[in-house]
Structure 1
Amino acid sequence: MTLAGHSHSADAPHHGGCFVNFNQDCTSLAVGCGSGYRLFSLGPDDGLEEIYAKNGGEDTYLVERLFSSSLVAVVTLSAPRKLKVCHFNRGTEICNYSYSNTILAVKLNRSRLIVCLEESLYIHNIRDMKVLHTIRDTPPNPSGLCSLSASTDDCFLAYPGSSSIGEVQIFDAIHLHAKTMIPAHDSPLAALAFNNSGSRIATASEKGTVIRVFNVRDGARLYEFRRGVKRCVSISSLAFSMCSTYVCCSSNTETVHVFKLVEPTKEMPRQASEDSGWMGYLSKAVSVGANYLPAQVTDVFSQGRAFASVHLPVSGVKSVCAITTISKQLRLLVASAEGILYIYALDGVDGGVCPLVKQHCIAGTPAAATVAAQPPNSTTSGKGGNTYAGALRGRDPNLMSGTESEKFHEMTSAVESPPPAGFKFDDDKEFPPVSQSG
């Protein structure tokens, strides 16, 4: 659910404007910009309340909130290799952890915190920030594409298994072993998203024309949807609804698509209307003559179409989308890098074009909406902080070069900073939920 530079995450914020993303259950919104970051809570009647603002601070290009708690993970341009874990309600930094390469993405749930570098991923126990496992020498992933399921029962991590084709590597982040490899697309991946339970994953490639949904446990393809036929479409985000009935998709075009994950039936009104039109005629013709047509042609007609859509006021602006329920009404949320949150009504029965219900400015000031938060180019001189710390352990800092000494002190302070007893997320005195009423 994160606005990223290649797509996503939704999911690597290498874009001009704000960094924007929703938390794991779509109850709040985090915005990072050149002057700090802001946190908002989605409220009844499609309202939006600012619950925290760090203004006049460092330029923030990554900020991730843990559900509705007061825990946030922050990365700034001034220290792109350092992850800060903060208690925003108290305005304190709990700990920090440094790496020898630029942090491209951070994902977290109640059990794990994932740090994605260009060629490695670090899996932390979120309660004490200890590194449990390091996935090294991953295929080059300059946009930091990865996804972590919100569930702690099926706690899976997904990341590209190849830089040339669309393979999805599924990793069990609890038992710390590779689970399966899903051959999702012929082209490199552009977006990944788990559903809330971690049982399904949606994918899109750099072509951006087809969205696929797979079963995580066995890699079986469950659904295939055609987003469009345009070339050079860059997917900005993919997201499941909390009920896993819908998948939404935003791109660099002005259209946001919503797909409904149901098996087609003859009784469906949409199918009846299609049967009476030219598309229905062609579909029937393809069905009858499937054995005589190229596979690419039959695939196009067998793919599902968008159930609903919205048309944004502008195109070419990256955005992140989500589907949630507000006051018992389905809502499609679209947050743009320009600093605008659009709230649309989603008709769960008939679909169609979604009407705009409300929009909010989330950038703070007009100037903040245009700040270009570009993290520096990541280097390939090292894999991660722990690796470098191990290489330097036992050496006298006074005999090191300036760069080595700086990294040594960074890593020493990083591994010593988490509290020995760990973070008690189930203790409301330490991490109270922060909502509109709080």
Structure 2
Amino acid sequence: MVVVSRSTPFRMNIYHFKKGTEICNYSYSNNILSVKLNRKRLVVCLEEALYIHDIKDMKLLKSLRNTPSNPKGLCALSVNHSNSYLVYPGSSTAGEITLYDAMNLSMVTVISAHASPVAAISFNASGTHLASASEKGTVIRVFSIPDGVKLFEFRRGMKRYVSISSLSFSADEQFLCASSNTETVHIFKLEHHNPSKESSSWTAYMGKVFSAASTYLPSQVSDMMHQDRAFAIVRLSVSGQKNVSGLAMIQKVLRLLVTSLDGHLYIYNVDPQEGGDCRLVKKHRLFESNDEDPVETELQDESLSYATTVKTTNQNSPSSSSLTG
């Protein structure tokens, strides 16, 4: 376990979690903004430098100095140590992402991901896909790794710029969720549409018409016509607060988990076939307070969001309205 405290933000302490003893500690020239690790590498991010350590003996392997200004400590390290890729902003003024091989300690490529600076980046579990969002927060893109080819492009919204606080892939790498400082969490489905299945339909015909028309339109309008919208949406009860979201399989059912600065964990059902609005199943308070509200709130009326959930939950648990932690 790696700990960076507010009282000494320039020092990193590494503990043996089970034994509860300190293994070692390192101090740096400036405040530590983020720490990433997998089974092979540990990466420490400062505002203008990154340090790569060998997780086995904590030996410093590489110092990446004079990197573009990164005041938020934005970086990501693949959890798949066989694909130990590291990404961080390649520019403080443009949406470039530097892809670095943390295992072989070599530069791979620079991905031109967005027009404006990058605000969020995240790998999938296998380290083969990278999701990114810019400071505008309107478009989310997914790239293949290590070649940096764009695979998907999703539009989160058009009316307002937002601050994307987290991007997270599902474990099966079929879905991607994005949360921001707004009241909405978007879930996108990573699938390529097959036009041949609907070749005779009116939808397919109109799609071809729009596709042909887009070649005569300005590039901004053309890009919007080819961007996919959210597959599923969660509408939070609070807005304006930073939150972090993730997708997980609980009792063999896909759930969205959201934690926010209001001190709660929210769990929603996600229908992997139909998508749409997701229903809140449980609300859990993450820390104690002086009020008398229960720590956990079961929302039994909301738990029956779709037939698959009911069937699977009944088969795998004593109570259809309960969730394991």
Fold-level match, TM-score > 0.5?
A: yes
The reply on whether 1:179 has 2:103 as its aligned counterpart is: no
Q: Structure 2 stretches of 5 or more lacking a match?
A: 292-323
Partner residue of 1:363?
287
Partner residue of 2:78?
149
Question: Using a 3 Å threshold, how does the CA distance of structure 1 residues 346 and 267 change in structure 2: closer, same or farther?
Answer: farther
Partner residue of 2:145?
216
**1:338–1:363 contact (8 Å) kept in structure 2:** no
The residue type paired with residue 30 of structure 2 is N
Partner residue of 2:203?
275
Question: What count of residue pairs does the alignment treat as equivalent?
Answer: 291
Report the Cα distance in structure 2 between the residues aligned to 1:82 and 1:146, rounded to whole angstroms. 19
Partner residue of 1:409?
none
Partner residue of 1:297?
221
The residue type paired with residue 320 of structure 1 is V
Report the Cα distance in structure 1 between the residues aligned to 2:79 and 2:180, rounded to whole angstroms. 23
Report the Cα distance in structure 2 between the residues aligned to 1:365 and 1:84, rounded to whole angstroms. 29
The reply on whether 1:164 has 2:93 as its aligned counterpart is: yes
**1:242–1:323 contact (8 Å) kept in structure 2:** yes
Match of 1:335 among 252, 259, 279: 259
Question: Using a 3 Å threshold, how does the CA distance of structure 1 residues 222 and 208 change in structure 2: closer, same or farther?
Answer: same
**2:119–2:134 contact (8 Å) kept in structure 1:** yes
Match of 2:275 among 336, 351, 366: 351
Partner residue of 2:67?
138
Match of 2:13 among 74, 81, 84: 84
| 1:348 Cα offset (Å) | 0.7
Partner residue of 2:309?
none
Question: Using a 3 Å threshold, how does the CA distance of structure 1 residues 150 and 228 change in structure 2: closer, same or farther?
Answer: same
| CA RMSD in angstroms, aligned pairs only | 2.1
The reply on whether 1:247 has 2:171 as its aligned counterpart is: no
> Where do residues 415-426 of structure 1 align in structure 2 (5 Å cutoff)?
none
| 1:342 Cα offset (Å) | 0.8
Task: Give deviations 1:249-298, integer Å, cap 9, x for gaps.
Answer: 000110000000001135889xx8x939xxx96x5542232232111111
Question: Using a 3 Å threshold, how does the CA distance of structure 1 residues 268 and 306 change in structure 2: closer, same or farther?
Answer: farther
Report the Cα distance in structure 2 between the residues aligned to 1:112 and 1:360, rounded to whole angstroms. 33
Task: Give deviations 1:368-400, integer Å, cap 9, x for gaps.
Answer: xxxxxxxxxxxxxxxxxxxxxxxxxxxxxxxxx
The residue type paired with residue 361 of structure 1 is R
Report the Cα distance in structure 1 between the residues aligned to 2:66 and 2:34, rounded to whole angstroms. 16
Which deviates the most, 193-202 or 330-339? 330-339
The residue type paired with residue 128 of structure 2 is S
The residue type paired with residue 80 of structure 1 is P
Question: Using a 3 Å threshold, how does the CA distance of structure 1 residues 96 and 226 change in structure 2: closer, same or farther?
Answer: same
The reply on whether 1:257 has 2:181 as its aligned counterpart is: no
The reply on whether 1:195 has 2:124 as its aligned counterpart is: yes
Question: Using a 3 Å threshold, how does the CA distance of structure 1 residues 300 and 124 change in structure 2: closer, same or farther?
Answer: same
SS for the counterpart of 1:153 is: helix
Report the Cα distance in structure 2 between the residues aligned to 1:194 and 1:83, rounded to whole angstroms. 24
SS for the counterpart of 2:154 is: strand
Partner residue of 1:35?
none
**2:48–2:66 contact (8 Å) kept in structure 1:** yes
| 1:94 Cα offset (Å) | 1.9
| 1:74 Cα offset (Å) | 0.8
Question: Using a 3 Å threshold, how does the CA distance of structure 1 residues 90 and 252 change in structure 2: closer, same or farther?
Answer: same
Report the Cα distance in structure 1 between the residues aligned to 2:77 and 2:265, rounded to whole angstroms. 24
| 1:96 Cα offset (Å) | 1.0
**1:340–1:362 contact (8 Å) kept in structure 2:** yes
The residue type paired with residue 286 of structure 1 is F
Report the Cα distance in structure 2 between the residues aligned to 1:285 and 1:197, rounded to whole angstroms. 38
| 1:202 Cα offset (Å) | 0.3
Report the Cα distance in structure 1 between the residues aligned to 2:60 and 2:160, rounded to whole angstroms. 41
**2:215–2:222 contact (8 Å) kept in structure 1:** no
| 1:365 Cα offset (Å) | 3.5
Report the Cα distance in structure 1 between the residues aligned to 2:194 and 2:266, rounded to whole angstroms. 33
**2:31–2:46 contact (8 Å) kept in structure 1:** yes
Question: Using a 3 Å threshold, how does the CA distance of structure 1 residues 365 and 100 change in structure 2: closer, same or farther?
Answer: farther
**2:138–2:161 contact (8 Å) kept in structure 1:** no
Partner residue of 2:166?
237
